[in-house]
Structure 1
């Protein structure tokens, strides 16, 4: 299964009167790099979140953002009288300790950070809920990666077919190149008005034919392209293997270009490099 490394997924759930959100962003990366951002109140869940992500994703830079907000009371006009009484009592105690010269009220003191303590979240209740939320979001992220992966697979297969066409054209063109080369050499020697040593000429032509022979390069190109098409059908992550195959394809294409003695063969070499570069750009984004 080909998966893209670029994707986004977001989800939200309600737990313990809290609205908890999870966002996952994924971009290409050589290895698996997980970054988790969450408030201190949810820090207890970090290890589980990291394990849930790494169990399903093997490559890419993953950013997970967890956040929460308290759900507003649906009955806006209900008053908690016990809370009011506790607030008044706290205010009286603070005012007794304050100097008359101070320019702020007890309520302003209560609003200072750390004066009022938030009740701790119930980890036993929130833990399984957060795990389920992250699992669901990871599943959505994988669906997006697989959907984009299918598009990448189609693009790569299309270009592999074109490469195979150019390989066939090069195989067909090579005998004509050798014939043309032989004619150019014999015509040039004939124009020099000197006695021709045909045995030596044949030896040189054989040497040149061996030097310019690209049969092995074309065979290896065809083998590598076939391997790319085979790897695209594998169920496991194949990004690194495809990256290696692209290096091998480029090496053979460069050799092909260096041996070219014909404008058509040079053009074929250029077209091959263009197609391989297009594939390489897509492979960089495959898990």
Structure 2
């Protein structure tokens, strides 16, 4: 069954001390184009995360965002850099003495100086511990995006198979029309034959050889057989379990070649209209293949 390259997956954990949320998005791309946003304490895990996503998602323009935030109670835990506070206070005290200013606000001013109050994020001790929580959440987000891609793939499968079926119907119409086309061609040849057979330079053997060559050039029997085989192969490939987007693209190219050859050899207005409709259906298929994994 087909899978779409477009997808979205997410997971979230609200713990007592922190919240972790993961979002994975993917769009169509010819190869794996991966963008990763991580908390600083997971930077050393980026290579592992990239390998996991590349192996799991195979192809697409993929972005992942892992967000880690402390809860309000944890955010309120600040520590005071006492040595820095003392240094700022002494400098402010010296400045106040120098200009003869009051000292009742010095403590508040020193406390507000840069890096005196430091927020305790606890990242140093939480890196490995949090990763043990992030890893299964990451797998949950991947499972979610796989489900999304599979659901989109079911819709794509139904749509693409309907286009293939339409090409089959049009090919059947060409099959019905082909004997009429050939009869018209024979009639025109017989008419020309009666006009030139009385010529003194008329060479019947050469004429027959040229007519055989001409009729072979107009014969579309092989193209019809190859086209129906390509259509069967395309349908079989659609339902394979592994990713088949690139393979379907190659088969679509072969389908296009046979349709174009039928159009160029047909020499019949009715068949040409069928060929145009087949090309329209094939273009719809190619558009959808761009989004198939």
Contact 2:70 2:121 in 1 (8 A): no
Is residue 120 of structure 1 aligned with residue 151 of structure 2?
A: no
CA–CA distance in structure 1, aligned partners of residues 252 and 39 of structure 2: 43
Q: Larger % of helix: which?
A: 2
- Unaligned segments of structure 2, at least 5 residues: 100-105
Q: Identify the match of residue 272 of structure 2 among 239, 244, 266.
A: 266
CA–CA distance in structure 2, aligned partners of residues 203 and 180 of structure 1: 20
* Secondary structure of the corresponding residue to residue 156 of structure 1: helix
Shift of the 15–236 alpha-carbon distance from structure 1 to 2, 3 Å rule, reads same
CA–CA distance in structure 1, aligned partners of residues 276 and 217 of structure 2: 20
1:90 to partner: Cα distance: 5.1
- Residue-pair matches, total: 279
1:40 to partner: Cα distance: 1.6
Which residues in structure 2 correspond to 1:1-287 (within 5 Å)? 1-15=1-15, 17-73=17-73, 86=80, 91-98=85-92, 100=95, 105-110=109-114, 118-121=121-124, 122-188=126-192, 190=194, 192=195, 195=198, 199=204, 202-287=208-293
| Alignment correspondent of 2:102 | none
CA–CA distance in structure 1, aligned partners of residues 142 and 34 of structure 2: 13
1:91 to partner: Cα distance: 3.0
* Secondary structure of the corresponding residue to residue 236 of structure 1: coil
Q: Deviation digits for residues 234-261 of structure 1, max 9, x if unmatched?
A: 1111111101111111111121221120
Higher Rg? 2
Contact 1:48 1:131 in 2 (8 A): no
Q: Deviation digits for residues 77-120 of structure 1, max 9, x if unmatched?
A: xx97xx67x467753442113452799932332358x9667433
Q: Deviation digits for residues 164-211 of structure 1, max 9, x if unmatched?
A: 112222222222111101212333555x58716694554443222101
1:71 to partner: Cα distance: 0.9
Tell me how large the CA RMSD over aligned residues is.
3.0
* Secondary structure of the corresponding residue to residue 100 of structure 1: helix
Structure-2-length-normalised TM-score:
0.84
CA–CA distance in structure 1, aligned partners of residues 121 and 34 of structure 2: 30
- Unaligned segments of structure 1, at least 5 residues: none
